[in-house]
Amino acid sequence: MGYAKQVYLEAEATLNRRHNDAVRHAQQKLDAFYAVCPEAEAVRRRIASTASQAAKAVLRGTDVRASLETLKAENLEAQRRFSELLATHGLTRADIEPQYHCAKCEDTGYVDGRMCSCHRALLRQIAYENLNRISPLTLSTFEDFSLEYYSDAPVDGRRSDREQMRYILDYCKRYAETFSAKSGNLFFTGATGLGKTHLSLAIASAAIDKGFGVVYGTAQNFAIALERERFARSEETSGDTLELLNDCDLLILDDLGMEISSSYITAMIYNVIDTRIMLAKPTIISTNLSMQELEKRYNERFVSRVLGFYDRMPFRGKDIRAKRKFGRH
Ligand SMILES: [Zn+2]
């Protein structure tokens, strides 16, 4: 997937920093070693000089075999002595060699001219961070989700609010525990303040802990970003949000229906939801709107997609934020 230019620049800077830090750190260790063991520096020079003489002997082509044998023996002896000196000082080769963040590409970001997996992971991480900066992913857990705020009085012969919420809480916990790139979609409905965002974020933290790329935001945040990119023609900002929304492992679209209403945004949101259904990528949507209101705001096709491909979780109860504020339980 493509990222904004800024994301590539940030990744490049991070790789450079990692590489230079590893090299500098190794050089410092080596200098410290030479300071206490001057012989080691002389031996290291002998290793380098026997290696370069061997190369020259091959180029000259005269008496190659005899010269090479001698040089090879000298080189191996010097290497043996160097290891010995290291051991005497309680060191190993790893202590004086650069310890790269990624051994495959030695923090250059490329292996055999192809982008290394660490580089791709870094680009993704930076892109997620940039997007989540708009809507900070505050940590919520299942443990601090309290059922005591929900009434246990039966409602018209149906299960009580608390029972309903216990069912949803358990469902979400299971969803988080077993989360994978092929998990299903969830649709949280219900009034404001019933814990929809809380449970979305608890699932998000669990998925992030498992190493998945999670994008969380309110529909309004995404709408603003999409609108901005629509009119920004500069390379720096174009195209980022839509790609991330389509491509991330888990998308959490909070407060659907509260975004600025425009045919462009509505089309984009429908597009993202549809694309993710086709790619079988998990999405969690929450909304305060009823199905009828959603149908009015988007369209019938949208609602039927959601009904067909999402597990609906109807949150119930009274606004728990208000209850918390006034100390009623
Ligand atoms: Zn790498």
- Could you tell me the distance, in angstroms and rounded to a whole number, from the CA of residue 247 to the centre of ligand 1? 22
Give the pLDDT confidence score for residue 328 in this predicted structure: 38
CA atoms of 119 and 12, how far apart (whole Å): 9
State residue 327's pLDDT score.
43
Q: The domain containing residue 281 runs over which residues?
A: 134-325
Residue 6 included in any domain = no
Q: Measured in angstroms, how far is the CA atom of residue 108 from the centroid of ligand 1?
A: 7
CA of 181 to the centre of ligand 1 (A): 23
Nearest of 193, 258, 189, 187 to residue 222 by alpha carbon: 258
65 C-alpha to center of ligand 1: Å? 39
Going 242 to 243 to 246 to 249, the CA torsion angle's sign is: negative
218 CA distance to ligand 1 middle (Å): 34
For tokens 């790329």, what's the residue? 213
**Count of structural domains, the chain:** 1
For position 144, what pLDDT does the model report?
87
Backbone CA torsion sign across 218, 219, 220, 221: positive
Between CA 223 and CA 1, with CA 277 as vertex, the angle to 5 degrees is 65
Closest alpha carbon to 267 in 313, 230, 213, 217: 230
- CA 111–ligand 1 middle distance (angstroms): 7
Is 287 among the domain residues? yes
Domain assignment present for residue 68? The answer is: no
264-320 pLDDT, tens digit each: 999 999 999 999 999 999 999 999 999 899 999 888 888 898 889 999 999 998 876
Question: Taking the CA atoms of the chain, what radius of gyration do you get in angstroms?
Answer: 30
- Looking at residue 307, which CATH number applies to its domain? 3.40.50.300
Q: What is the pLDDT of residue 62?
A: 66
Per-residue confidence (pLDDT) for residue 119, from 0 to 100:
92
Does residue 26 lie in a domain region?
Answer: no
Q: Is residue 169 part of a domain?
A: yes
Instruction: Look at residue 131 in the predicted model and tell me its pLDDT.
Output: 62
Q: For the chain, which residues score pLDDT lower than 50?
A: 1, 237, 327-329
Work out the burial of residue 7: count CB atoms within 10 Å of its CB; fewer than 13 is exposed, 13-18 middle, 19 or more buried: buried
CB 218, CB 135: distance < 8 Å:
yes
